[in-house]
Amino acid sequence: MIDRKLIPGNLVRDVSSEPQQGQAYLITASGMGTKAIATMRSKDAKKNSIAGTTSVSSMGVTFTQRALSTATLNLGVNAHKLVSVASSTFLYFNGDKEEILASDLITKIPLYEYAKRIGYAVEERPTQTEEEARKERRRAKSALDAAVREINKSLESLYAGTLTWKEKVKGKQKDYLNVPIIGTHGIKDGYICIAFDPVYASYLTAVPETHYASSLLGIPARQPNAYNIGLKLTEHYCIYENHTKGTHDRLSVKSLLAATDLPSYEEVKKKRKSWIERIKEPFQAALDTLVTGNVISDWHYVLPGGKEIADDDREELDKLQDYENWRNILVRFTLVDPPDLSEQIKTYTEKKKQASTRKKRIMEKAEVKAEAKKILEEKP
């Protein structure tokens, strides 16, 4: 059992201090009720004038802002970052508990460290004069104030509504109706304080875990396509079955496009625009952003069989000028400092083998019984 008194604010965690988490990754929950938050856009929100509510849907999940709420709907990348870090902290302390107490629902994230990770220049830079030092302190404080305003927007949005969705959890179909995400929240004494709703907290402990690249925190909210593609790549890499198949480092363009808000080919053609300019180039720019943001170290196109496309292979390169050919090829990527999943994959493979053996024995017994029954029925 971890003594919370020894850990200031429950962490946002300096991941390097937690070797079981991986140097650059946080363990967080992976379910529809978490992933959908990242792709919810304010411009897609719909108002119900009769009920007085505002709702936005994505990936089969609907967020409904309560009637009379004065909060501005501000979900998407920033809100997802906050939920990811908070849920990672929550799971670190509560992931293996059978019963979660009210006091367990509260997580604290160090404000200064979080602001720095999401891209705010809150550190004071070296100066040479007292006047320069005063200006630098004001600049750093202004940056921290801006971060606080942004964080508060996300907190208020998460608090102001509920989520509704259906999902299979632990093999059973679940209906989640109007589930609040957070309750008590705020920024106090240098910490972002968040209390998860009990139902949502229970959900976080029930869905599968995945690795969240801490470098994604630095991807700007104004680049949601890069952020959501990054989520897709890291989650795909962390699926054990993909490692056993050797496909953990590649995904089709088609599946990655589904994680973006780029227009469809039909929409682009209807407006008589270039699909290369409106879809392909922004898609590639998003991948390049992940490289500069240290989420991936490189990426390139490969054929479905895994064969790389050479720079002088004019035949294959020409095919990429056709939309259908392009969307069906693969993107091979390399994560920066990927998590070590060797032990988990070994355990997964062994369990899969054991399950296969049990299934084979059951089938063999069933065949023996069926054969015996047939013999008995054939006797005069």
The pLDDT tens digits of the residues spanning 259-278 come to 999 999 999 999 989 999 99
Rounded Cα gap, residues 231 and 258, in angstroms? 12
Under the banding of pLDDT at 50, 70 and 90, the label for residue 76 is very high
Instruction: Answer for the pair 75, 40: CB distance below 8 angstroms, yes or no.
Output: yes
Residue 73 pLDDT > 70: yes
Residue 48 has pLDDT above 70, yes or no: yes
Residue 11 confidence (pLDDT) above 50:
no
Asked if residue 292 has pLDDT above 90, the reply is yes
Instruction: Provide the percentage of residues in the chain whose pLDDT is more than 70.
Output: 89
Rounded Cα gap, residues 252 and 239, in angstroms: 16
Neighbours of 218 (CB within 10 A): 17
Residue 320 banded pLDDT, cuts 50, 70, 90: confident
Rounded distance between C-alpha atoms, residue 39 and residue 22, angstroms: 26
Q: Which of 15-29, 89-103, 234-248, 298-312 has the highest mean predicted lDDT (pLDDT)?
A: 234-248
Q: 274 or 376: whose pLDDT is higher?
A: 274
Q: Are 67 and 51 in contact (CB under 8 A)?
A: yes
Phi, psi of 57 (to 5 degrees): -120, 150
**More reliable by pLDDT, 12 or 338:** 338
pLDDT score at 356: 72
pLDDT number for residue 1 = 28
Q: What CA–CA distance (Å, rounded) separates 111 from 133?
A: 22
Give the tens place of pLDDT for each residue, 107-165: 999 999 999 999 999 999 998 899 989 999 999 999 999 999 999 999 999 999 999 99
- SS3 per-residue string spanning the chain: CCCHHHCHHHCCCCHHHCHHHCCCEEEEECCHHHHHHHCCCHHHCEEECCCCEEEEEECCEEEEECCCCCCCCCCCHHHHHHHHHHHHHHHHHHCCCCCCCHHHHEEEEEHHHHHHHCCCCCCCCCCCCHHHHHHHHHHHHHHHHHHHHHHHHHHHHHHCEEEEEEEEECCEEEEEEEEECEEEEEEECCEEEEEECHHHHHHHHHCCEEEEEHHHHHCCCCCHHHHHHHHHHHHHHCCHHHHHHCCCCEEEHHHHHCCCCCCCHHHHHHCCCCHHHHHHHHHHHHHHHHHHCCCEEEEEEECCCCCECCCCCHHHHHHCCCHHHHHCCEEEEEECCCCCCHHHHHHHHHHHHHHHHHHHHHHHHHHHHHHHHHHHHHCC
- pTM for the whole structure: 0.85
The 10 Å Cβ neighbour count of residue 208 is: 12
Residue 15 has a pLDDT of: 33
Is the pLDDT reported for residue 187 higher than 50? yes
**Poorest-confidence range of 11-15, 180-184, 195-199?**
11-15
pLDDT band at 380; cut points 50, 70, 90 = low
From the number of C-beta atoms within 10 Å of its C-beta (0-12, 13-18, 19+), residue 350 rates as exposed
Compute CA distances 83 → 43, 77, 104, whole Å: 21, 10, 16
Mean pLDDT over residues 211-240, rounded?
95
